[in-house]
Chain A
């Protein structure tokens, strides 16, 4: 009996030892990080990351405290665990210190500076696998810039990943993150789960990525898009963004910082582009590659722009499903589909396409009426096979019969946004350069009378309507 007890105890101790080996924790304080909000702690966090990497990976633990940092360089097989009360705070560059310099990219003319470089970020990784960033802590991009300074040492993204796979980002909060809270380019098997983001430019830019889950996130980004799928040429080749779900998310354009502190203020109406607050879900603008097999469901929009689905640089956008969406206080088109020919892609890239888009169960309350909703290709490139069903839109109305005679400019090469067309001649949907578009059970309501026709069709075929109502009256 005594013998067997000893044997059991030995096994327990051996197991405990083995578990400790496999669950090694690299506490950044053990590497010299102070977390006092003043000292620059990124060198010590990077040492902890390197130590974990040297041993094949592990968990880098960041306990409560305020860690002023410049660039944190991720490695493979790594978990960054931000404890409750832990804050990674982006420091302002000084004369002698700053973020890693933006690496060269010979393809940077095909997309903005921000999309073309990854190392000039608070947290970045290139060519990695098996990365998790998690915990209840905060990433505060205080010293990051959303603007266009090119000074060495300037940082403009909170988390930036290129050519990575098997990435999980979950539970953290992100505040004021510069150009992007998250830029993921060429990242496969990416899960972004339960993030709370309140930022001063884009929220998540998911660019050339495959198999992406964005689930249960709140993104407030009054000055740019909240959740955006892109397919730029930043990698130097065409790559689709495909097999993506965006589910259970809340996007908004409340005054900066007020979603994070839960006051949801509405005093600042404008975004820097002067098209009113943004904060929407969008596909595009960068669209050299395509978008395939995208599902957006059970999402809420508040005080922001409407849903935008765009392909303008040659990408093929197809098999997109959007359903169970409710929107309130929408400052431009509730639904905007644009196939354009901006062609910010290598010379000779053929035009793109847009087809098989299904939009259903959409409720919109208090939408601006100037731009109504738009489905517009360009001459020679048409949007096809789109169905819209079970949609209720409460518009502000107030436009005149004369407005119904406006012919919007084509704007084939212009950056796509409803405002590029000026006032739209339709009170409901403006459809141009399109075919096989089906409207089923679409109910419009107008706060003020609107003298424009409900639908205006131009160079479009096979437009089918089934049960259309205005203010409860069947048309």
Chain B
């Protein structure tokens, strides 16, 4: 009888290990921008995104922090996703948010590759922060774009030029440089961080700049109101400052 118990226990543990170690198949399966066979922006069922122009231009991921506890977007208790052509709405709820919820609405951009995002907090408990990270601008075309997680090997030599609540990422090689721009909410606490240390958002944000895999991380006080993000490739039509984002969001989301 003991033998049977042991075998069952080993089998269960093995199944658990297989489950937790497996790379989630086709994680980045939702095409927000571009075509199915040539995606420009891909999304997951939880708030994580990757950019392909067509080379891997980065990974953007959200999380929550409250005190010493922090969660990635794919660890919160409930994430409901609504999809429309070129638009996504995520609704997050979790014990960490108590009775509150976070609604993330986003739309692809008309004038550039990228998206504009509105993060709305409702009944958010005091002391809750929104966490975000951007990095992994690999400058190579991934053979399987549905697995475009933030890997340290994608981050080497990425250079982040942060100006207030906007940043420009320089990636690729000398004489063949590429850039991607972002505007994040004002009052962000933005830091260079280490892509080798992503276990939790809090650990990631406190990981420091001594690394061969630099990433940008940021936190914002999660307010009972709205915060805006935008990722884009600058051109004569797409040149954004933070004060432009609410209007840009309204226009792109057709509010």
Q: A interface vs B, CB < 8 Å?
A: 92-95, 142-143, 145-151, 200, 223, 255, 267-268, 270-275, 414, 417, 419-420
Which residues of the other chain, B, contact A273 by a CB distance below 8 angstroms?
170, 174, 177
**Which chain B residues in 196-255 approach chain A with CB under 8 Å?**
209-211, 214, 234, 236, 239, 241, 243-244
Closest residue of chain B to A145, judged by CB?
A: B163
Which residues of the other chain, A, contact B234 by a CB distance below 8 angstroms?
148-149
Which residues of the other chain, A, contact B177 by a CB distance below 8 angstroms?
272-274
Closest residue of chain B to A274, judged by CB?
A: B174
Which residues of the other chain, B, contact A143 by a CB distance below 8 angstroms?
163-164
**Beyond known contacts A149-B234, A267-B209: 20 more, CB 8 A cutoff:** A94-B243, A95-B243, A143-B163, A145-B163, A149-B241, A150-B236, A151-B241, A223-B159, A267-B211, A268-B159, A268-B214, A272-B161, A272-B170, A272-B177, A274-B157, A274-B170, A274-B174, A275-B174, A414-B175, A417-B174
**B186 nearest CB across to chain A (Å):** 9
Are A419 and B174 closer than 8 Å at their CB atoms?
yes
**A144 nearest CB across to chain B (Å):** 8
Count B interface residues, CB 8 Å: 24
CA distance in complex: A151, B234 (Å): 11
Which residues of the other chain, A, contact B239 by a CB distance below 8 angstroms?
149-151
CA distance in complex: A271, B244 (Å): 29
Which residues of the other chain, A, contact B163 by a CB distance below 8 angstroms?
143, 145-147
- B157 contact from A150, A255, A270, A417, Cβ within 8 A: A270
Are B209 and A268 closer than 8 Å at their CB atoms?
yes
**B211 nearest CB across to chain A (Å):** 8
CA distance in complex: A273, B181 (Å): 16
CA distance in complex: A94, B186 (Å): 12
- B241 contact from A93, A148, A420, Cβ within 8 A: A93
**Which chain B residues in 96-151 approach chain A with CB under 8 Å?**
none
Which residues of the other chain, B, contact A223 by a CB distance below 8 angstroms?
159, 161
Which residues of the other chain, A, contact B174 by a CB distance below 8 angstroms?
273-275, 417, 419
- B172 contact from A200, A255, A274, Cβ within 8 A: A274
Which residues of the other chain, B, contact A417 by a CB distance below 8 angstroms?
174
Which residues of the other chain, B, contact A94 by a CB distance below 8 angstroms?
243
- In the assembled complex, 27 residue pairs joining A and B whose CB atoms fall closer than 8 Å, in A order, are A92-B164, A93-B241, A95-B243, A146-B161, A146-B163, A147-B161, A147-B181, A148-B234, A149-B241, A150-B236, A151-B241, A223-B159, A223-B161, A255-B209, A268-B159, A268-B209, A268-B214, A271-B159, A272-B159, A274-B157, A274-B170, A274-B172, A274-B177, A414-B175, A417-B174, A419-B175, A420-B175
Which residues of the other chain, A, contact B241 by a CB distance below 8 angstroms?
93, 149, 151
CA distance in complex: A414, B174 (Å): 12
Which residues of the other chain, A, contact B172 by a CB distance below 8 angstroms?
274
Which residues of the other chain, A, contact B210 by a CB distance below 8 angstroms?
267
CA distance in complex: A419, B170 (Å): 17
CA distance in complex: A419, B163 (Å): 28
Contact string against A for B residues 160-183, beta-carbon threshold 8 Å, 1 for contact and 0 otherwise: 010110001010111101000100
**A363 nearest CB across to chain B (Å):** 28
CA distance in complex: A417, B175 (Å): 10
**Which chain B residues in 71-85 approach chain A with CB under 8 Å?**
none
